Amino acid sequence: MRSHRQRGAIGGASALAGLLCASLLATPASTAAPIQTNTAVTATQSAAGVAAKRPSRPMPYQNPHLPTKKRVKDLLGRMTLAEKVGQMAQAERADVAGDPSQIAELGLGSVLSGGGSTPAENTPEAWADTVDAFQEQALSTRLGIPLLYGVDSVHGHGNLMGATVFPHNIGLGATRDPKLAERIGHITAEETRASGPQWNFSPCVCVARDDRWGRTYESFGEHPKLAAEMSRMIRGLQGHHGQFDRPDRVLATAKHFAGDGFTVFGTGEGDYTVDQGITQASRSEFAELALSPYGSAIKKHDVGSVMPSFSSVDWTEDGLGNPVKMHAHEELVTGWLKQKQGFDGLVISDWRAIHQIPGTYAEQVAASVNAGVDMFMEPFSGDTVGYPQFIETLTAAVEDGTVPMARINDAVARILTAKFELGLFEKPFTDRRNIDDIGSPAHRRVAREAVAKSQVLLKNSRHTLPLSGRDDVYVAGSKADSIGDQAGGWTITWQGNSTHQIPGETILDGIKSAARGEVTHSPDASAPVPAGAHGVVVVGEHPYAEGFGDVGGPRWGYDPGENGVLRPPLTMHLSDADTEAIETVCAAAATCTVLVVSGRPLIIPPQLLRQIDALVASWLPGSEGKGVADVLFGKRGFTGKLPVTWPRSIEQEPINIGDSDYDPLFAYGYGLRTRR
């Protein structure tokens, strides 16, 4: 989900208290929503709830004992056009933080926090207070329809300081462990919902077919079967059918529908080289590589929402040159997804994605709604057109017949169904019973296990690994002691940052804990290598996310992930400093192990590979650097397998298993094993 930088925040508990009292007391008695009474409700909420008048005869939609379909039908029949269109609009936290009353005035259906958009105090309690304050505005409306709050918990609740930060999906793909992905999904859901949000824009079930794409690490790998298997994470996020309303589950999102992982290099929107580009494929190829993981997400795991891609598709058998944006692709969104697959969840647009559809704004809105998109992520994001203009534009389109009322009713019914199934009509406020489990040792142990299982051993000459804990170790490289680099993008901020400090251990910390001999750390390898010491050099990429992570980009301005500092475009090559550190250590140490911390394969020149004794793909392990040390020192054996093909050179991209001229440095599925 494309999101932007951190902006302002609203106040905490004091603002919430005022909103609760004023809003609940103002709720019409005949239509007031049920008051939440579980033990997690704050004292202020309880007092306000007592003051509010309950309806003498609750409406059918307020009856939790009725089937969801009946409740939806009843509520939909009571809604005006304005109330329906409001449910289809989603604002960003920063847009409404200064004036939360917009939520009630416009009848907004949803609010999200984009990457880096957090309360001023980035704590679980402040998050929950913020979400609850917004929720109060939604409950103050005529019908009391609760708000959905969404966030990108793509490798744990990464926006929240102190949350458990798991390896990114490419590392999870290397584990080949769908059950582990389910456990991670469950922990992510628990930590996310305990802090307020009930909706997660994850997982990405895309199939990354070009490693130059800056979102490669969000993919489980290059093979659709692997993506389908690892989509079991959805089951962990949502639970089994009927468990959405539990305090440790969230609504999941399969994204980005479809084909964003193999767009043609150089076709991206604006300044992007791969991201948001055009997928050129036959219908059969597209079905296999782009659509098949979504079939699994729907049929096996009953995913609750789907997010279309920024990208376009161009059917090659129909003749090149007629790409259609996924947000306007009725054949795929309504035809394939909703009708053929029987998807009964809601379709949420990506960040202002409809603005890339050709035509005027009115034409963009109508095209996407008619194509089957149900809710629209329309923050202002520095523009003058946002969610208020969306509401005004869609209302006019319905009134003049451009968008049928039946399409509006279908969209709103899907949105309301999600809210009923999440239990928000009965318990709209944050259930905080699990808030102390956020970032708990038990959760971090699962993350550490995932890190260890994600490590892929690519070379192991002279049985270099595992290392003996008794030996001295010399640690070098730019990524050895950087938890910000380990975590990568979508951590605290959208693009991530090398300087971010989150709870956890770096790889160096892990090595120091595991080694009983002397550990020398010299990032640039300028310190002398002690005689007989074993070298470990940790190299890799700076954090990035979409757009800025494309090889060859960014082509404009600055990288917000580095606080506005210009930096050279990414290349998939090691930096000169990292290369020099490898050469220095490999020439002097008893053995030389190189760990590559990255969101995709990096090019290892032949002459450099010959100097390396052991080579490990460490991916983006997140907060638990001790998981890397677990396999380095033999506490766990290496079991990981490559989720993507490792190329010999950048010129081979795109390279994937099954290519007629397949000649990689390391093949898809490759990975050496060691015993504990």
Tens of pLDDT, residues 95-152: 999 999 999 999 999 999 999 999 999 999 999 999 999 999 999 999 999 999 999 9
Same domain, 499 and 396: no
414-424 tens-digit pLDDT: 999 999 999 99
Same domain, 349 and 476: no
Same domain, 465 and 428: no
Looking at the chain, the whole-number percentage of residues with pLDDT higher than 90 is 83
| Rounded average pLDDT over 469-488 | 97
Residue 670 lies in a domain: no
Whole-angstrom distance, CA of residue 648 vs CA of residue 661: 13
Looking at the chain, the whole-number percentage of residues with pLDDT higher than 70 is 88
Q: How many domains does the chain have?
A: 2
625-653 tens-digit pLDDT: 999 999 999 999 999 999 999 999 999 99
Token pair for 305: 């929402």
Token pair for 624: 């638990």
| Rounded average pLDDT over 306-312 | 97
Same domain, 272 and 411: yes
Token pair for 652: 């081979």
pLDDT at 241: 73
49 pLDDT band, cuts 50/70/90, is very low
CA dihedral for 653, 659, 661, 665, sign (positive or negative) = positive
Whole-angstrom distance, CA of residue 131 vs CA of residue 164: 20
Residue 222 lies in a domain: yes
| Rounded average pLDDT over 422-445 | 98
pTM across the whole model: 0.91
| Rounded average pLDDT over 207-215 | 96
Q: Tell me the one-letter amino acid at 134.
A: F
**pLDDT reading at 47 higher than 60:** no
* SS3 (DSSP) at 69: helix
Residue 315's CATH number: 3.20.20.300
Residue 666 lies in a domain: no
Task: Name the residues annotated as catalytic.
Answer: 350, 546
Same domain, 382 and 516: no
593-628 tens-digit pLDDT: 999 999 999 999 999 999 999 999 999 999 999 999
**pLDDT reading at 44 higher than 80:** no
Residue 657 lies in a domain: no
**pLDDT reading at 27 higher than 50:** no
Same domain, 425 and 463: no
Residue 662 lies in a domain: no
- Contacts (Cβ under 8 Å, ≥6 apart) of 612: 459, 582, 586, 592, 593, 594, 604
What φ, ψ does residue 215 adopt, rounded to 5°? -110, 15
Which of 22-36, 104-118, 244-258, 337-351 is predicted least confidently? 22-36
240 pLDDT band, cuts 50/70/90, is confident
Same domain, 413 and 549: no
Residue 557's CATH number: 3.40.50.1700
The boundaries of the domain holding residue 306 are 13-436
Whole-angstrom distance, CA of residue 450 vs CA of residue 440: 16
Residue 674 lies in a domain: no
574-585 tens-digit pLDDT: 999 999 999 999
Same domain, 128 and 258: yes
Whole-angstrom distance, CA of residue 540 vs CA of residue 478: 8
Same domain, 429 and 467: no
Residue 673 lies in a domain: no
Residue 441 lies in a domain: no
382 pLDDT band, cuts 50/70/90, is confident
Whole-angstrom distance, CA of residue 336 vs CA of residue 150: 25
**pLDDT reading at 85 higher than 90:** yes
**Alpha-carbon separation of residue 646 from 209, 479, 506, 649 (angstroms):** 12, 20, 25, 9
* SS3 (DSSP) at 634: coil
Same domain, 63 and 139: yes
Whole-angstrom distance, CA of residue 530 vs CA of residue 522: 12
* SS3 (DSSP) at 358: coil
pLDDT at 318: 75
**pLDDT reading at 23 higher than 90:** no
Same domain, 419 and 477: no
Same domain, 154 and 188: yes
According to the 3-state scheme, what is the secondary structure of 25-91?
Answer: HHCCCCCCCCCCCCCCCCHHHHHHHHHCCCCCCCCHHHCCCCCHHHHHHHHHHHCCHHHHHHHCEEE
pLDDT at 190: 98
